[in-house]
């Protein structure tokens, strides 16, 4: 078939196809581009036919991957051609060549609008398609009302209306305000009565977008959606052409069920019943058939139904049906179904009560870890990671370690991270932990990121039992180059020593550098504990470590130097020979070109001459205050790059490390341990450490480096406060630990200071009562709204209602006894952070059966801070003592009041707050990818009012708000977010206000909301996906945008 | 939503690209390079989904051509897989047993048909019959315009003879 008779184009395509190699092709293309360029230059001579032909050639060349940086004007100008053939070409080529940010597109707005409002329906279709595919914010503002009219018009034919629906969807995505039309929700509901399934499909897509943004307006659509679903499920009134392999429009079914998932619940019992009937029918009635397309379509519907059932948290019976189905799916041969089975099972983990059933499939899931398909292996890994707990950790980690041997390079880093997290979290005993970590470093050294071994060091520092054994082991390892079986580690050391030495010494394999780092660090800290054992004199230990020095890179040498200094310090009585040896090394590195090495060498040399003073400075590292594992944060950060979010999120929400309680002698209440801050202790790997998320500790433990080459980037007066705040109220960071269980565990250990290092079994005696629903989720919901349930378990429900006025808040706690017997020993106590003054009225000691008690709570905000108040709540039911620590939703954002500013107010303010500390800017990575719309929505719900139109770049958001506290009074805050459309996981944020603390706290607060879990200041940046687009740095230009002016003139 | 559609031949030649999310030229080239590296090397009996940069790419091979659509992580993969098949069936019906050559020399048709099927990254029409009818109507409009043009030029030619 010739291309509409365009011989020139066909010839060109044939020429390209006949090119023998890339070089020839390039020559041919260059020639053609030159030709087109000259033809376009004297445009007068071009017939419409020729213009069309050249424009097509341009598109073809563009598709081949060549830059076509001219001729856009010609393509755009064809849009205004009077005749259909030219117009059509103009529209399609424009929508392929340009994207929404292109200035040329603005030139076309008027023509496009004329086509949309004109009477010619073929022109309308072309115009709607273009706007639907590449329309930007400008289009949204100028065209939305016209498109709305077309969609609801009774005189338009379906072919126009369905395009109008999707076009409107695009405009809504670009600017949600365009759908703020009175009565639109009624219109939307009417649209769902549509009989034409093409229009209905498009309208349903529009509805999905609308309800995902704000479902409140659209409750009236819910029963209609159920009706549509019923109509399809029963094949009523579905024309033949809309059945796909015998299934009534699977796409419409999927979309409808998707829309329903955005409504939190379905209240009306009749609607609910009808929906469940349909869902039941889908769950039961979907069989595997031979025809692959029919199979895919029916399973598309089935998986959507599964998601809806999970969302509705249906009856137990239905849920177990779902798990059974998924269990079947993960065992089938069809790879797509297996993949989706694993994916959905991971989502299922969110639902309570099914974990045990899922565990039954563990063997099958492990098989999938060996699947030839990397996509399936990824899902299996994610699921195993999500379902791991103390009961199966040994098996799962063992499998993962094995898999590490064969896994692709792209997966190894993620895999090592996950192994390290699981090992720490669920270790049944310490020898196992050591075993796993050594194997991990041994097998995947290159992929073990610094964070992992930092964490290992932290962990060992905080667990005394580990120190000797690991030191001994690593020493043996360095000595013999063999790693022993875990069980041997805890044997009284070295009877087999001599024998081993003789046998293995000769064939010492290379040891990975990461292993050298860990060994050097641990031996430096703890090798003196080995001193009495034969062959473990400081000198011997020094020799074995020093032997590695020639083999390591410059990043490891500073660590080795620290180790030498420590060995020297621990050698009592001093050994002059060793001292000279070490001094010689220090002197040698005094002139090293690497600044870090040089500095350490100089300082250690000087210090070690000071004799006893050295002891104070180089003493053992103090224990690290417990905080969330940086690994989990890292895992979250890398998520976007690797796998589904679900399992990681779930992990983060679950309690941290139960098995190995990383507790410490933290004071039970209030003040942080001053001694830790005051003393200058061990010079740790200051430079290396800076990369780790635990920068805070290193700094507070004091580094020896006098000059800090890289001071913290945000010189906020509150930095110290920020570092300490997690300690200040013995509750871990406000955000890091999400479950009350965990809070309970963390706090319990500290005040009683009992069995600090015990291998505490997971099951706490206390909270055997499982909360209903996810506490963290409830808390997060309450952060955005003012009333709801804070906590619920089988016996009690705690509701909360809040009223916020400026810097005052009044909360009422509703304590409801759900039982027929009273709840005794009820106690509630508020652990307020220092910036809040909280007064809780008396709480009665008993709550009578089925009664609800109200406890008012007054909150006053003294100054900006994002710390969180905690409600320590306990009661007794029968023999159960239940104690929970609940975060109270009295966050920073509650003391904000919406204010929207006009450009005249905004820009002067914005400019007057110039630079730190009043205006802070930061590039945030690892952001939960949100469409801009949803982000704007999130901001609005945080009472940061998005001011549309202030920033000409549609990828940016500007928000304003007023913050109230006793110290700052009312304070205007301005926020600008610049997003990268190509990479939603990162953005640049600028926050400005009249108070430096407020600016910093607000910035951190917003960051916490955007990143699923907050990152500490200076946290490691995750690898950036797609190249970041250069962002405009200047403050937004006002209306003087040249493109806009040009468009106006035309 | 569908962020983009790619048709890539087994040799890595691009036969069609359609972008529903804004990507610059540079990003487009990079995306194509990365994805063809990932997808063309996959074996035949693997699943049709590839995880990529926080998105999912659903693809299916038809003879020498790979049809790929990039979607969000929580979109319904199978639904999109059948959008691909739906598109292929319509192409097949239009060209009469479609092959890669048809799509090379008539790439503009592939674009027209895709526009009738997907707008804003969402499925617009699920009836093959309707799409076929609309494309036929477009073709006849173009034909009519051509005839009109030639008849006018005939008249002019005759008048100026």
Structure tokens, A858 = 């007054």
* Best mutation target, B126, B141, B152, B153, to test chain A (most A CBs within 10 A): B126
The total domain count for chain B is: 1
- Give the DSSP letter of residue A81: -
Q: Among partner residues B49, B53, B107, which is closest to A1026 by beta-carbon distance? A: B53
pLDDT tens digits, one per residue of A520-537: 777 777 777 766 666 677
Whether residue A139 contacts residue A174, with contact meaning beta carbons closer than 8 Å, is answered with yes
Q: Among partner residues A134, A136, A644, which is closest to B73 by beta-carbon distance? A: A644
Pick the range with the lowest mean pLDDT from A166-170, A698-702, B122-126: A698-702
Which residue in the block uniquely carries the two structure tokens 């051609």? Answer: A81
Backbone angles phi, psi at A849, to 5 degrees: -55, 140
Q: Among partner residues B77, B134, B145, which is closest to A83 by beta-carbon distance? A: B145
Q: Does A1040 touch chain B (CB under 8 A)?
A: no
CA A881 to chain centre: 36
Q: Does A137 touch chain B (CB under 8 A)?
A: no
The confidence score (pLDDT) of residue A531 equals: 67
pLDDT at A583 > cutoff 70: yes
**H/E run at residue B117:** helix B107-117
Whether residue A651 contacts residue A633, with contact meaning beta carbons closer than 8 Å, is answered with no
Query: Considering only residues 906 to 935 of chain A, which have any Cβ-Cβ distance to chain B shorter than 8 Å?
Result: 929
pLDDT tens digits, one per residue of A752-790: 333 333 333 333 344 467 788 888 888 888 888 888 888
pLDDT at A34 > cutoff 70: yes
The confidence score (pLDDT) of residue A690 equals: 38
CA distance B153 to chain A (A): 13
Average pLDDT over residues B134-146: 88
Contacts of A972 (CB under 8 A, 6+ apart): A899, A901, A909, A960, A961, A962, A993, A994
The tally of CA atoms less than 13 A away on the side-chain side of residue A959 is: 28
The confidence score (pLDDT) of residue A217 equals: 87
* Best mutation target, A89, A296, A346, to test chain B (most B CBs within 10 A): A296
Contacts of B125 (CB under 8 A, 6+ apart): A162, A198, A201, B116, B117, B131
Beta-carbon neighbour count of residue A355 at 10 Å?
15
The confidence score (pLDDT) of residue A948 equals: 80
pLDDT at B16 > cutoff 80: yes
CA distance B40 to chain A (A): 14
C-alpha A152/C-alpha A926 separation (Å) is 41
Strands across the sheet containing B65-71: B14-19, B2-9, B65-71, B55-62, B49-52
C-alpha A366/C-alpha A399 separation (Å) is 7
Structure tokens, A710 = 């890289």
Contact residues, chain A, for B95 at CB < 8 Å = 1
pLDDT tens digits, one per residue of A733-748: 344 334 334 333 333 3
Task: Please tell me which residue of chain B has the smallest CA distance to A335.
Answer: B47
Pick the range with the lowest mean pLDDT from A415-429, A503-517, A677-691: A677-691
pLDDT at A453 > cutoff 50: yes
CB contact under 8 A, B127 and A300: no
CA distance A329 to chain B (A): 13
CA angle A958/A1046/A140 to nearest 5° reads: 45
The confidence score (pLDDT) of residue A565 equals: 84
**H/E run at residue A244:** strand A243-244
CA distance A448 to chain B (A): 21
Pick the range with the lowest mean pLDDT from A481-485, A625-629, A816-820: A481-485
Q: In which band, very low, low, confident or very high, does the pLDDT at A832 lie, cut at 50, 70 and 90?
A: confident
Contact residues, chain A, for B137 at CB < 8 Å = 122
Instruction: Give the burial class of A980: count Cβ atoms within 10 A of its Cβ; 0-12 exposed, 13-18 middle, 19 or more buried.
Output: buried
CA A217 to chain centre: 29
CB contact under 8 A, B111 and A929: no
DSSP code per residue over A832-896: --TTEEEEE----S-B-TT-EEEEEEEEEE-S------EEEEEEEETTEEEEEEEE-S--GGGGE
CA distances from A924 to A510, A571, A646, A743, A928 (A): 39, 47, 21, 28, 10
The confidence score (pLDDT) of residue A1044 equals: 40
Q: Does A169 touch chain B (CB under 8 A)?
A: yes
First to last CA, chain A: 40
Tell me: cis bond preceding A219? Omega within 30 of 0 counts.
no
Q: In which band, very low, low, confident or very high, does the pLDDT at A628 lie, cut at 50, 70 and 90?
A: low
List the one residue out of A571, A594, A573, A596 whose CA is nearest residue A582: A571
CB contact under 8 A, A254 and B76: yes
Structure tokens, A595 = 């600044």
Task: Please tell me which residue of chain A has the smallest CA distance to B23.
Answer: A982
**ipTM, 2 dp:** 0.94
The tally of CA atoms less than 13 A away on the side-chain side of residue A229 is: 31
C-alpha A858/C-alpha B32 separation (Å) is 58
Q: Among partner residues A99, A249, A373, which is closest to B19 by beta-carbon distance? A: A99
Whether residue A863 contacts residue A1002, with contact meaning beta carbons closer than 8 Å, is answered with no
* Best mutation target, A982, A983, A1025, A1031, to test chain B (most B CBs within 10 A): A982
Whether residue A251 contacts residue A201, with contact meaning beta carbons closer than 8 Å, is answered with yes
**Residue predicted with more confidence, B56 or A966:** B56
Task: Please tell me which residue of chain B has the smallest CA distance to A125.
Answer: B116
Q: Does A238 touch chain B (CB under 8 A)?
A: no
pLDDT tens digits, one per residue of A331-373: 888 899 999 999 999 888 877 677 888 888 888 898 888 888 9
CA distances from A166 to A125, A877, A935 (A): 12, 56, 21
Whether residue A176 contacts residue A213, with contact meaning beta carbons closer than 8 Å, is answered with yes
Task: Please tell me which residue of chain A has the smallest CA distance to B24.
Answer: A99
In sequence order, the β-bridge partners of residue A989 are: A922, A977
pLDDT tens digits, one per residue of A243-294: 999 999 999 999 999 999 999 888 888 999 999 999 999 988 888 888 999 9
List the one residue out of A471, A251, A619 whose CA is nearest residue B83: A251
CB contact under 8 A, A241 and B134: no
**Residue predicted with more confidence, A927 or A176:** A176
Average pLDDT over residues B119-127: 94
Contact residues, chain B, for A10 at CB < 8 Å = 105
pLDDT tens digits, one per residue of A108-149: 888 899 999 988 899 999 999 999 999 888 888 889 999 999
- Residues above pLDDT 70, as percent of chain A: 75
Average pLDDT over residues A424-450: 75
CB contact under 8 A, A375 and B47: yes
CATH number at B145 reads 3.30.450.60
Structure tokens, A995 = 């108070």
CA distance B54 to chain A (A): 4
- Which residue blocks in A942-995 are alpha helix, DSSP H? none
CB contact under 8 A, B124 and A88: no
pLDDT at A1046 > cutoff 90: no
In sequence order, the β-bridge partners of residue A800 are: A788, A813
Whether residue B122 contacts residue A168, with contact meaning beta carbons closer than 8 Å, is answered with no
pLDDT tens digits, one per residue of A835-894: 888 888 778 888 887 778 888 888 888 888 888 888 888 888 777 788 888 888 888 888
Backbone angles phi, psi at B123, to 5 degrees: -65, 130
List the one residue out of A617, A616, A630, A615 whose CA is nearest residue A459: A630
Q: What is the CA radius of gyration of chain A?
A: 33
Whether residue B117 contacts residue B90, with contact meaning beta carbons closer than 8 Å, is answered with yes
Instruction: Give the burial class of B60: count Cβ atoms within 10 A of its Cβ; 0-12 exposed, 13-18 middle, 19 or more buried.
Output: middle
Structural domain span for residue B49:
2-160
C-alpha B48/C-alpha B69 separation (Å) is 11
- Residues above pLDDT 90, as percent of chain A: 16
Q: What is the CA radius of gyration of chain B?
A: 19
The confidence score (pLDDT) of residue A562 equals: 85
The confidence score (pLDDT) of residue A957 equals: 85
What's the mean pLDDT when you consider all of chain A? 75
The confidence score (pLDDT) of residue A495 equals: 31
Contacts of A698 (CB under 8 A, 6+ apart): A684, A686, A689, A690, A692
Q: Among partner residues B45, B85, B115, which is closest to A129 by beta-carbon distance? A: B115
Contacts of A131 (CB under 8 A, 6+ apart): A112, A116, A139, A143, A147, A167, A170, A171
Whether residue A411 contacts residue A638, with contact meaning beta carbons closer than 8 Å, is answered with no
* Best mutation target, B119, B137, B147, to test chain A (most A CBs within 10 A): B119
List the one residue out of A595, A583, A503 whose CA is nearest residue A542: A583
């Amino acid at each position: 078939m010739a291309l509409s008779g365009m011989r020139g184009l066909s010839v060109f395509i044939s020429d390209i196809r006949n090119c023998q190699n890339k070089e020839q092709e390039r020559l041919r293309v260059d020639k053609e581009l030159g030709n087109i360029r000259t033809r376009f230059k004297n445009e007068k001579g071009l017939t419409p036919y020729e213009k069309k032909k050249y424009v097509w050639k341009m598109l073809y060349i563009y598709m081949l991957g060549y830059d076509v940086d001219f001729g856009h004007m010609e393509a755009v100008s064809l849009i205004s051609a009077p005749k259909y053939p030219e117009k059509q070409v103009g529209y399609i080529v424009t929508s392929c060549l340009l994207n929404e940010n292109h200035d040329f597109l603005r030139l076309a707005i008027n023509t496009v609008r004329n086509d949309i409002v004109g009477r010619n329906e073929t022109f309308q279709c072309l115009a709607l398609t273009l706007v639907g595919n590449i329309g930007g914010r400008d289009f949204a503002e100028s065209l939305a009302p016209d498109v709305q009219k077309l969609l609801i018009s009774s005189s338009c034919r379906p072919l126009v209306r369905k395009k109008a629906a999707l076009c409107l969807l695009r405009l809504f995505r670009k600017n949600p305000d365009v759908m703020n039309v009175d009565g639109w929700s009624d219109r939307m509901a009417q649209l769902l009565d549509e009989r034409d399934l093409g229009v209905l499909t498009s309208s349903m897509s529009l509805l999905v977008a609308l309800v995902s943004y704000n479902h409140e307006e659209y409750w009236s659509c819910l029963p209609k959606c159920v009706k549509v679903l019923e109509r399809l499920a029963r094949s009523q009134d579905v024309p033949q052409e809309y059945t796909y392999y015998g299934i009534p429009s699977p796409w419409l079914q999927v979309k409808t069920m998707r829309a329903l998932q955005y409504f939190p619940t379905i209240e009306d019992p009749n609607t609910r019943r009808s929906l469940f009937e349909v869902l039941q029918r889908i769950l039961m009635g979907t069989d595997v058939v031979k025809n692959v397309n029919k199979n895919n379509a029916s399973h598309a519907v089935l998986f959507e139904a599964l998601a809806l059932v999970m969302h509705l948290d249906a009856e137990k019976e239905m849920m177990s049906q779902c798990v059974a189905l998924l269990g079947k799916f993960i065992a089938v041969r069809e790879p797509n179904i297996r993949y989706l089975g694993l994916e959905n099972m991971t989502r299922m983990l969110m639902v309570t009560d099914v974990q045990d059933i899922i565990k039954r499939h563990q063997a099958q899931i492990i098989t999938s870890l060996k699947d030839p398909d990397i996509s399936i292996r990824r899902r299996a890994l994610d699921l195993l990671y999500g379902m791991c707990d103390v009961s199966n950790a040994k098996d799962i980690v063992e499998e993962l370690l094995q898999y590490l041997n064969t896994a692709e390079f792209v997966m190894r880093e993620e895999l090592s991270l996950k192994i390290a997290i699981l090992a720490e979290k669920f270790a049944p005993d310490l020898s196992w932990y050591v075993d796993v970590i050594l194997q991990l470093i041994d097998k995947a050294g290159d992929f073990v990121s610094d964070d992992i071994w930092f964490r290992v060091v932290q962990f060992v520092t905080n667990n005394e039992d580990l120190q000797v054994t690991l030191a001994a082991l690593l020493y043996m390892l360095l000595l013999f180059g063999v790693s022993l079986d875990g069980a041997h580690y805890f044997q009284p050391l070295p009877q087999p020593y001599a024998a081993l030495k003789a046998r293995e010494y000769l064939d010492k394999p290379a040891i990975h550098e990461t292993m050298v780092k860990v060994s050097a660090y641990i031996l430096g800290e703890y090798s003196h504990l080995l001193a009495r054992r034969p062959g473990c004199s400081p000198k011997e230990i020094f020799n074995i470590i020093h032997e590695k020095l020639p083999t390591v890179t410059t990043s490891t040498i500073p660590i080795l130097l620290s180790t030498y200094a420590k060995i020297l310090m621990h050698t009592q009585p001093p050994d002059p020979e060793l001292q000279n040896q070490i001094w010689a090394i220090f002197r040698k590195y005094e002139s090293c070109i690497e600044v870090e090495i040089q500095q350490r060498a100089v300082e250690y040399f000087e210090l070690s001459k000071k004799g006893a003073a050295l002891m104070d400075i180089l003493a053992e590292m103090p224990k690290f205050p417990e905080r969330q594992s940086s690994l989990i944060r890292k895992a979250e950060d890398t998520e976007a790059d690797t796998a589904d979010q679900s399992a990681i999120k779930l992990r983060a929400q679950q309690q941290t490390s139960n098995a190995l309680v990383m507790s410490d002698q933290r004071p039970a209440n209030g003040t942080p341990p001053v001694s830790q801050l005051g003393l200058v202790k061990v010079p740790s790997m200051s430079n290396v450490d800076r990369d780790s998320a635990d920068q805070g500790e290193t700094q507070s433990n004091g580094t020896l480096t006098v000059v800090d080459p890289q001071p913290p980037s945000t010189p906020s007066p509150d930095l110290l406060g920020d570092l300490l705040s997690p300690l200040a109220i013995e509750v871990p960071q406000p955000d890091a630990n999400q479950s009350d269980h965990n809070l309970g565990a963390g706090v319990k250990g500290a005040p009683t200071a009992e069995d600090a290092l015990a291998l505490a079994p997971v099951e706490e005696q206390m909270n055997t009562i499982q909360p209903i629903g996810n506490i963290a989720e409830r808390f997060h919901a309450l952060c955005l709204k003012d009333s709801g349930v804070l906590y619920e378990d089988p016996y009690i429900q705690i509701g909360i209602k809040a009223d916020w006025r400026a810097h005052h808040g009044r909360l009422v706690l509703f304590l409801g006894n759900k039982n027929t017997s009273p709840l005794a020993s009820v106690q509630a106590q508020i652990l307020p952070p220092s910036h809040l003054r909280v007064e809780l009225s008396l709480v009665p000691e008993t709550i009578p059966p089925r009664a609800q008690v109200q406890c008012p709570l007054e909150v006053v905000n003294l100054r900006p801070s994002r710390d969180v108040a905690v409600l320590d709540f306990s009661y007794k039911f029968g023999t159960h003592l239940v104690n929970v620590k609940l975060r109270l939703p009295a966050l920073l954002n509650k003391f904000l009041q919406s204010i929207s500013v006009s450009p005249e107010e905004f820009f002067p303010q914005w400019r007057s707050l110039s630079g730190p500390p009043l205006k802070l800017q930061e590039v945030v990575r690892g952001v939960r990818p949100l469409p801009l719309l949803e982000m704007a929505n999130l901001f609005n719900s945080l009472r940061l009012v998005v001011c549309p139109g202030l920033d000409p770049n549609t990828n940016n958001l500007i928000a304003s708000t007023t913050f109230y506290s006793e110290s700052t009074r009312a304070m205007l805050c301005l926020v600008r977010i610049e997003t990268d459309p190509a990479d939603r996981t990162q953005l640049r944020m600028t926050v400005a206000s009249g108070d430096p603390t407020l600016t910093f706290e607000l910035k951190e607060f917003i960051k916490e909301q955007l990143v699923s879990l907050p990152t500490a200041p200076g946290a490691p940046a995750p690898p950036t996906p797609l190249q970041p687009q250069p962002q405009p740095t200047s403050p937004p230009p006002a209306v003087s945008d040249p493109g806009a002016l040009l468009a106006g003139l035309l | 939503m569908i962020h983009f559609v790619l048709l890539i031949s087994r040799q890595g030649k691009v036969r069609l690209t359609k972008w529903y999310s804004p990507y610059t030229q540079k990003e487009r080239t990079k995306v194509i390079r990365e994805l063809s590296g990932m997808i063309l090397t996959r074996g035949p009996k693997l699943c049709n989904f590839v995880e990529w940069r926080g998105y999912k790419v659903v693809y299916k091979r038809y003879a020498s051509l790979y049809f790929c659509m990039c979607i969000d992580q929580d979109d319904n993969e199978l639904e999109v897989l059948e959008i691909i098949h739906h598109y292929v069936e319509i192409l097949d019906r239009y060209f009469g047993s479609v092959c890669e050559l048809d799509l090379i020399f008539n790439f503009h048709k592939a674009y027209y048909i895709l526009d009738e099927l997907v707008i804003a990254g969402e499925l617009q029409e699920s009836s093959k019959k309707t799409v076929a009818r609309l494309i036929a109507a477009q073709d006849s409009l173009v034909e009519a315009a051509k005839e009109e043009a030639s008849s006018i030029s005939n008249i002019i030619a005759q008048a100026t003879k």
